[in-house]
Amino acid sequence: MRNDNRPAQGLTVTNRLRTFDFVAGLFLAGCYFAMLVGTTDIGFSRDEGFYFKAAEEYSWWYDELLDDPSSAFTKKSIDRHFAYNPEHPALPKMLYGLSWRLFGKMHDPKTEPWARVWYHNSSPPKPILGIMKESTAMRLPALLINSLLVMFIWLFAAEYFSRRTALVASLSWMFLPHAFWHSHLACFDMPVVAMWFLVAWLFLRATPPLEERLRNRRQTWFRAILAGVAWGLAMSTKHNAWFIPAVFLAWYMIARYDEVLPRNGIGRRRLAFGNIPPAFWAMLVLGPLVLFLTWPKLWFDPIEHLKFYIARHAKHEFYWAYFFGFLHVKPPFPISFPFVMSAMTIPVPVILLSLTGLARAFREWIRRRADRFQLIRRPLPVRGNDTILFVFLNFLFPFLIIAAPNTPIFGGTKHWMPGVAFLAIFAGLGFETVLDAIRGLGERFAAFNRRTVRFAVALACLAVIMIPAARDTFHGHTNGSTYYNAAFGGFGAMGRLGMQREFWGNTAFSALPWLNENARKNAQIDFHDTAWDSVRMYWRDGLLRRDIKPLWDSERADYFLFHWHKEFLDLEDRSRKAMGDEVPVHVVEQDGVPLLNVYQRTERKPITSLPVVRPVGDPGGDE
Amino acid sequence: MKTPRKTMIAGFAIPLLSILFFGVSLRQTARVPSPADWEAAAAIVRQGWQDGDVVAFMPQWAQGASPWLRGLRVDTGENHDWYELSKAARVWLISSMNGRGDLPPEGWTMIDSRLMDKVDVSTWSPPRDRTLAFDFRGGIDKAVVSRTRGKTTQFCSNFKKNRWFCGQEHPWLYVGQESRDIAGRVRDIIWAHAVDRAVVEALWREVPRGTTLVVHYGLTQRAAEAREGSETVFSVLIDGKQVFSDTLKNDRHGWFRREFKLPGDGTSSVAFRVQADDPQSRQLCFTADAWK
């Protein structure tokens, strides 16, 4: 990679990606994949349960595709296989289903008759390779895509900033506890972060200044097509991607409006239609096309299904969010929510780096825009005068969407995570300030003037910044979505500050060993917030004794698993009174904060039947 | 050009603060009690347990010891309710993490304290300057509950499961014992949901005089967060005379306390009234005690 500082051209650098960058990015992605695979002891969230079910049902379409391709593309076939969870694009679930079919180790109801209830239509397909747990097989595509994001971060940062920015940015992303936790799940939230980042990188590559585009028309169009296809795949991942063009358009109109609105001879601006970057055209044409092709539900009634899809998410129900001791249930939600939650749930060192990088980059961008290059003492290694703005808008926009007072909050941090990936770039830029300080040390003390010494000090600084973040990521990773950083009291912030503890019914996972050991034979368990499809996967993975029966009715169940949500405290009170015991028999806690209480019925009723009762009115749906 | 001092301070502050917060983070984890610590604390409580005792936690959310305390009376509310705790003979406090060193409110006396590695167990005696003479919630069966619309008063005579219904049982239109999340914790309260175009009244005829009447009232968490219906008026009447009235806006959070003197000998009648123009989700709750 060549760094060519050109002060006259706005202190910009020109980097070309080399093989090393792909190798380095892939290596870090491999490390992240290993981190994820090594920590799969994470429970199944509610939405993941729904997607397990969808993936399984969709996967039967592949059989029809192989057995009778002509019927596989009929409306009847599509309606039959893709009926469930139509409010989200099918692509991720199709991948999860495909992976499950290829790698999953299924149970055979012939030898295990009890397994019939665990599968769609009471019968699993024959395993193909059968080399991993079913949940891991379902999660595998998400694990891979989410790992590739680390490589995308490296490549983006190396191309538009520097390799040291790429390294620090990649590490900063890898050691975010919430992102790490979500990266395990067979859901869409993290894959869409990866896709948003990929689209942004490809778009920026396809949109250099006009002169360069005109000079390399062929390359520009090739890259534009890649960006268009990537956006289509991003839309096929999750609806967050619909906002991407707005970000790009905002950036383009701020940074490059002269290209499409140049002044004519008499100084008046006119629209230069032909100067619109090809990437916009490619996205406009290819994006919807790819979405259409990869979502079978659109094949026969695209307009009606899109109307349903948009209406579903435009009028999404409000979820409850416990925020500083106040339960927010309907608008207006606090504008500060995504910003404060991020400040609380990103490790302190990464916050410090990010804020430093943001402040410095923004100040530099303003000076570059104002042509006040003489004020920039130590320029950041940035390619292009408006790259900082591009990264900043991609960081800010996802936050702003959730900050809008009428946007449902959903409680967690995952919905603005696409912005956090760009924040990692600013963390990478923040490290430049640390490097400047080390350089300053060399200027003042001869002992630090040697390049090797400065390099060693820089490495040591990077280590003391990243080790705490890494430790936060691995400590309590099973409950990683409940992490709060040390500045706010660590996990204790949940209790001390009155913040959301449990989010999506996944903590039942940590109570399973206790239940397996202590629950009597054929015990009936009220799993509370855990979805039926998640419980089915616990059985299939051998994590839950097969004789234990879920029964979402604390009046009758032998045990009640109360997932600690503020909004459910009245229910907890009623349930434990119904159980006849006010004190839990088992508590799942993280760093001393209870996340789940197990209540046991004091007097057991005679069991007359052993029904598997699904939760009443479980809507499936999404989170 | 030399690197400015400001840049150097900012640059080195990042790793230094990272080290500091790393230390803080490690300490936060290190002070978390283990199951063995909780078990040891529970054993101390069991050893000295007496009738009328209750166990609470400091901080109140750190309730990891609960499973070892089964069979005892344990306060598992989200936050402390020192007023209700003061009705116990003694309170055992299991303190851990950032709650070690925190004390109950003024007036409480420490009887005993055992300091361990990660958990402290202390026994406290509530303020002894008064004794409970009458508990309105406990005496719900003695209440006379009515609804008045204009000049017509309907008495609610259907008493089931410690609740007074006006006619048929109803999921929420009654006056009676309930537990609801109000202002930071689930509380044992008297539920008195407002009724359409009516004044709901709960009257206790024989409340001992020579006492101080302590009233708590508020909307449930659900009612306040729902922001539905109209303002709710809550009034207190002693011997038929209104001594207090408060109008609660539909989003008003809180568990409010008022005290009234009931001087002299004999008994007084004490009534509580609830009304709202639009009773949608107007879940008003109250408790009252007479202290001698």
Contacts of range A399-407, beta carbons closer than 8 Å, 24 or more positions apart = A399/A338, A399/A339, A399/A342, A401/A243, A402/A337, A402/A338, A403/A335, A403/A336, A403/A337, A403/A338, A403/A339, A404/A335, A405/A331, A405/A332, A405/A333, A405/A334, A405/A335, A406/A331, A406/A332, A406/A333, A407/A333
Residues A436, B12: C-beta atoms closer than 8 Å: no
Interface test mutation site (partner A, options B181, B182, B251, B253, max chain A beta carbons within 10 A): B181
Quote the CA–CA distance of A415 and A47 in Å, as a whole number: 14
Higher-pLDDT residue of B287, A369:
B287
**Residues of B with CB below 8 A from A444's CB?**
2
Quote the CA–CA distance of B199 and B194 in Å, as a whole number: 8
Quote the CA–CA distance of A22 and B260 in Å, as a whole number: 77
For B4, nearest residue in chain A (alpha carbons): A440
Residue A456 scores a pLDDT above 50: yes
Per-residue pLDDT, averaged over A130-140, amounts to: 97
CA angle (A317, A321, A324) in 5-degree steps: 160
Cβ atoms of A388 and A364 within 8 Å: the answer is yes
Cβ atoms of A337 and A351 within 8 Å: the answer is no
Residue A187 scores a pLDDT above 60: yes
Per-residue pLDDT, averaged over B245-249, amounts to: 97
Cβ atoms of A278 and A206 within 8 Å: the answer is yes
Per-residue pLDDT, averaged over A481-493, amounts to: 96
Q: Could you tell me what percentage of chain B is helix, strand and coil, using 3-state DSSP and rounding each to the nearest 5?
A: 20, 45, 35
Burial class (CB in 10 A: 0-12, 13-18, 19+), A196: buried
Residues A583, B186: C-beta atoms closer than 8 Å: no
Beta bridge partners of B218: B285
The predicted structure's pLDDT at residue A396? 98
Maximum Cα–Cα distance across chain A: 93
**Residues of B with CB below 8 A from A585's CB?**
67, 70
The predicted structure's pLDDT at residue A315? 86
Residue A619 scores a pLDDT above 50: no
| Per-residue model confidence as pLDDT tens digits over B248-274 | 999 999 999 999 999 999 999 999 999
Residue A614 scores a pLDDT above 50: no
Residues A485, B29: C-beta atoms closer than 8 Å: no
Give the H or E element holding residue A572: helix A569-579
B142: confidence class by pLDDT, cuts 50, 70, 90: very high
Quote the CA–CA distance of A451 and A294 in Å, as a whole number: 53
**Residues of A with CB below 8 A from B3's CB?**
378, 436-437, 439-440, 443
Q: How many CB atoms sit inside 10 A of residue B34's CB?
A: 12
| Per-residue model confidence as pLDDT tens digits over B32-70 | 999 999 999 999 999 999 999 999 999 999 999 999 999
Chain A: nearest CA to B208, how far in angstroms?
32
Per-residue pLDDT, averaged over A382-400, amounts to: 94
Interface test mutation site (partner B, options A483, A589, A601, max chain B beta carbons within 10 A): A589
Residues A583, B70: C-beta atoms closer than 8 Å: yes
Beta bridge partners of B262: B211
Cβ atoms of A386 and A255 within 8 Å: the answer is yes
Sign, Cα dihedral of A378, A380, A386, A391: negative
The predicted structure's pLDDT at residue A409? 79
Quote the CA–CA distance of A228 and A293 in Å, as a whole number: 14
Angle at which helix A417-444 crosses helix A451-474, to 10 degrees, equals 150
Residues B184, A325: C-beta atoms closer than 8 Å: yes
Q: How many CB atoms sit inside 10 A of residue B69's CB?
A: 22
Question: Hey, what are A127's tokens?
Answer: 């395993």
> How large a percentage of chain A has pLDDT more than 90?
84
Residue A85 scores a pLDDT above 70: yes
The predicted structure's pLDDT at residue A379? 85
CATH architecture of B132-291: Sandwich (2.60)
Per-residue pLDDT, averaged over A267-281, amounts to: 93
Q: Which residues contact A260 (CB under 8 A, 6 or more apart)?
A: A252, A271, A272, A273, A275, A276
A11: confidence class by pLDDT, cuts 50, 70, 90: low
Q: Which amino acid is at A67?
A: D
Question: Hey, what are B79's tokens?
Answer: 């936050």
Q: Does A334 lie at the interface with B, CB-CB under 8 angstroms? A: no
Per-residue pLDDT, averaged over A148-161, amounts to: 97
Q: How many CB atoms sit inside 10 A of residue A610's CB?
A: 11
Per-residue pLDDT, averaged over A316-321, amounts to: 86
Residue A608 scores a pLDDT above 70: no
Cβ atoms of A525 and A601 within 8 Å: the answer is no
Per-residue pLDDT, averaged over B109-117, amounts to: 96
Tell me the Ramachandran region of residue A482: left when phi exceeds 0, alpha when psi lies from -120 to 50, beta otherwise: alpha
Peptide bond into A89 cis (omega under 30): no
**Residues of A with CB below 8 A from B26's CB?**
471
Q: Among B28, B69, B98, whose Cβ lies nearest the Cβ of A583?
A: B69
Pairing state between β B211-219 and B283-291:
antiparallel
Domain ranges of chain B: 35-125, 132-291
Interface test mutation site (partner A, options B27, B28, B69, max chain A beta carbons within 10 A): B28
Q: What is the DSSP letter of A114?
A: G
**Residues of B with CB below 8 A from A571's CB?**
none
The predicted structure's pLDDT at residue A7? 42
Quote the CA–CA distance of A474 and A486 in Å, as a whole number: 15
Quote the CA–CA distance of A400 and A405 in Å, as a whole number: 10
Chain B: nearest CA to A539, how far in angstroms?
26
Residues B186, A572: C-beta atoms closer than 8 Å: yes
What's the ipTM?
Answer: 0.93
For B6, nearest residue in chain A (alpha carbons): A437
- CA nearest A120: which of A139, A103, A101, A133? A101
Adjacency order of strands within the sheet including A593-600: A549-550, A524-526, A559-563, A593-600, A586-590
> How large a percentage of chain B has pLDDT more than 70?
100
| Per-residue model confidence as pLDDT tens digits over A528-582 | 999 999 999 999 999 999 999 999 999 999 999 999 999 999 999 999 999 999 9
The predicted structure's pLDDT at residue A371? 81
| Per-residue model confidence as pLDDT tens digits over A404-452 | 998 887 768 999 999 999 999 999 999 999 999 999 999 999 999 899 9
Burial A515-544 (b: 16+ CB within 10 A, else e): beeebeeebbbbbbbbbbbbbbbbbbbebb
Residues A430, B14: C-beta atoms closer than 8 Å: yes
Residues B3, A592: C-beta atoms closer than 8 Å: no
Cβ atoms of A276 and A234 within 8 Å: the answer is no
**pTM, rounded to two decimals:** 0.93
| Per-residue model confidence as pLDDT tens digits over A508-540 | 999 999 999 999 999 999 999 999 999 999 999
The predicted structure's pLDDT at residue A412? 85
- CA nearest A596: which of A606, A586, A605? A586
Higher-pLDDT residue of A85, A612:
A85
Cβ atoms of A590 and A502 within 8 Å: the answer is no
Instruction: Give whole-number Cα distances, B40 to B28, B51, B118, in Å.
Output: 21, 21, 10
CA angle (A524, A513, B118) in 5-degree steps: 120
Mean pLDDT of chain B: 96
Q: Does A438 lie at the interface with B, CB-CB under 8 angstroms? A: yes
- CA nearest A118: which of A536, A550, A552? A536
> How large a percentage of chain B has pLDDT more than 90?
96
- CA nearest A177: which of A410, A425, A350, A411? A350
Residue-level length of chain B: 292
Quote the CA–CA distance of A108 and A128 in Å, as a whole number: 13
Instruction: Give whole-number Cα distances, A9 to A14, A244, A255, A374, in Å.
Output: 11, 29, 16, 12
Residues B18, A465: C-beta atoms closer than 8 Å: yes
Residues B11, A572: C-beta atoms closer than 8 Å: no
Q: Does A23 lie at the interface with B, CB-CB under 8 angstroms? A: no
| Per-residue model confidence as pLDDT tens digits over B95-106 | 999 999 899 999
Chain B: nearest CA to A471, how far in angstroms?
9
| Per-residue model confidence as pLDDT tens digits over A226-264 | 999 999 999 999 999 999 999 999 999 999 999 999 998
Residue B116 scores a pLDDT above 80: yes
Provide the number of CB pairs (under 8 Å) joining chain A to chain B: 166
Measured between alpha carbons, how far apart are the two ends of chain B, in Å?
80
Quote the CA–CA distance of A345 and A485 in Å, as a whole number: 6
Per-residue pLDDT, averaged over A32-57, amounts to: 97
- CA nearest B3: which of A448, A179, A533? A448
Query: Which of A:440-459 have CB within 8 Å of B?
Result: 440-441, 443-444
Chain A: nearest CA to B15, how far in angstroms?
5
Q: What is the DSSP letter of A336?
A: T
Residue A618 scores a pLDDT above 60: no
Burial class (CB in 10 A: 0-12, 13-18, 19+), A270: exposed
